[in-house]
Structure 1
């Protein structure tokens, strides 16, 4: 567990007691803080009875509190906790901000922060794997893996690799990343922001928190972003862009079985720059690419049955995320649909030449059917179970059945992981 004397004898409220909330409470209590906790679920509050105060921060007098700690899932643009805390001059923060505050007492270390709309988890896991392969003490957290405060501090020379969503960055004010990475910014989560520009600015805040001696990596070729980052007060001292990197280009992806597709070209390049900035030997970097196992639900090849490949890309929750998956294969039977985040086919339209047939599902299924019916053969399958059945009956050896829905999952599933697991189960039943 990560603790800090900076929290001792200070008052905090923690709203939401899911895993990161529980870890936050334990770290604060162990550090000697005075903690008020709340969750709408009585069973979530129960473990803290008698250990700290229990009450809704929205009904609390917050004068003198050092912070209200909320889950990234709390929408700051609509939830009343933000104006309530503001009325007392109390910051609303997340566990990443508490980690940032704890760093002064941790053994000397570095932090890599990775953000972007798509590719964050893959790049975070890849950088973590590269460091492990190079023998560097490392852990990953943030929007992936265990809550960061629940983890044990790394020894001297360790590197914390953090996946940072825009929601987490919104709750963070002092995280000075030794290497900060921006992969891309495409329209997403616009229910939480007034405009796309506001969403983009949220991502870019990670660079504004950096010291001048630290490094930035931008994997998208956008001169306006470069100009913005260099104009930041303080700001990073070194900037890597797609046209300028010390390794001379991205290695041949054919050698890296879990890193196929054009989107992974960007992920590899960003990881390469981060590895260089962390002084990782290039040969060890290449070795790590060869052994990287990939992540579930991200271009995950789950089976080959009678010569037909079945690929789980349930993490393709918007069109920009699904387009690279379509580009990575030929003769695709595309399972698409769910809860749409934006209208239209977006970047997927340019990759329809790879699609042999489409099988539409979920709330947006009919919209996708209308968009696709004059471009590729379609079947209105409605459910994932029916889509897998339909696609498996139509596919022949050499084809790929690809679940890359270009939509969120919440119309039919708890999350994209549950959707991907169901796809796996349905494919297993075909054997």
Structure 2
């Protein structure tokens, strides 16, 4: 329910009736739970991967942990943790809007870029929603903030008075990702750095953290390695439903056969343009196919494949050993598929049919 426009929300506010969500109910129930800690992760992009990675690091280290929230696992549906456990919560701006008392032991903001603006008066209100995660914290608790965009940097500056309890992650921080096969690319460098800072704040030693980074398998449809056939690697990044989320995948590989298209969320691919030099060939599909082909044609070779299955067959014929075929659509899926998960499943099925 969009709380900025729905008449029921307006009526509740007029009657001074609080509107709360499941995360607030969890926050109110914490006092009755065995002693525990909570990590909250938000951001426009990368929060699901970072949430899953932090949970995996804890699990690998033998720390009892539960993962929930926006990642699709309702936290109220899960059994309480024993004493010493850690709840790892992915938090959307919507969930933060409906939460007033969640005091995270560690709160993480990865980035803030324009999204969901139909639910806010403007970008500033959207960014302010993300910042509330830190406003709810006790000053002694840890804050971890990526500063790769202006809005996130401004939020970090706004909480700079907290001194040593705030850690900022600057873009381009050097990191050796060579031993972490599911954490490739500059965006995953930030995700991994955030997870490392959180794990250290929770008391994990470096050996346990490294073991978790090496064994993390990633999430479905987020730069997921589907197969390697004849030396060609096939990557499912179907969750990349806008150019901003597709750009990091293009940056991660030096020679890419790029499958893109669907129902476009905008008229350009500007966010991806810095990485066109990595694209060997593009294959466009769906409603946005003709538009995306026109945008790319002067920059990279393009095939208008129309369907995902056809794109896979063409790419299989074109790709050479050492190259990557990447489904990173930069568009929504609803023109040809139920959702991004269905699109990723169709991609996997088409790739497996090549074997």
Mark yes or no: TM-score above 0.5: yes
The structural deviation recorded for 1:394 is 2.0
Structure 1 residue ranges (4+ consecutive) displaced by more than 4 angstroms after TM superposition: none
How many Å separate the matches in 1 of 2:37 and 2:174? 25
2:147–2:156 contact (8 Å) kept in structure 1: no
Query: 1:396 aligned to 305, 311, 320, which one?
Result: 320
2:106–2:144 contact (8 Å) kept in structure 1: yes
Matched pairs, number: 351
Q: Does 1:226 align with 2:156?
A: yes
The structural deviation recorded for 1:331 is 2.1
How many Å separate the matches in 1 of 2:23 and 2:265? 27
**What's the counterpart of residue 366 of structure 1?**
290
Matches within 5 A, 1:197-208: 197-208=124-135
**What's the counterpart of residue 31 of structure 1?**
none
**What's the counterpart of residue 31 of structure 2?**
104
Q: Does 1:329 align with 2:253?
A: yes
How many Å separate the matches in 2 of 1:101 and 1:362? 46
**What's the counterpart of residue 273 of structure 2?**
349
Query: 1:305 aligned to 219, 229, 232, which one?
Result: 229
**What's the counterpart of residue 354 of structure 2?**
430
TM (norm. structure 1) is 0.78
Query: 1:285 aligned to 184, 206, 209, which one?
Result: 209
How many Å separate the matches in 2 of 1:167 and 1:89? 20
TM (norm. structure 2) is 0.94
How many Å separate the matches in 2 of 1:307 and 1:322? 23
Query: Which range is displaced more, 373-382 or 85-94?
Result: 85-94
**What's the counterpart of residue 332 of structure 2?**
408
How many Å separate the matches in 2 of 1:220 and 1:412? 36
How many Å separate the matches in 2 of 1:238 and 1:341? 38
Where does structure 2 lack aligned partners over 5 or more consecutive residues?
Answer: none
How many Å separate the matches in 2 of 1:400 and 1:208? 43
Query: 2:82 aligned to 142, 148, 155, which one?
Result: 155
When the two chains are superposed, the root-mean-square deviation of aligned CA atoms in Å is 1.9
How many Å separate the matches in 2 of 1:257 and 1:396? 21
Query: Which range is displaced more, 293-302 or 76-85?
Result: 76-85
How many Å separate the matches in 1 of 2:312 and 2:320? 14
How many Å separate the matches in 2 of 1:120 and 1:112? 12
Q: Cα deviation per residue 1:7-48 (whole Å; 9 max; x = unaligned)?
A: xxxxxxxxxxxxxxxxxxxxxxxxxxxxxxxxxxxxxxxxxx
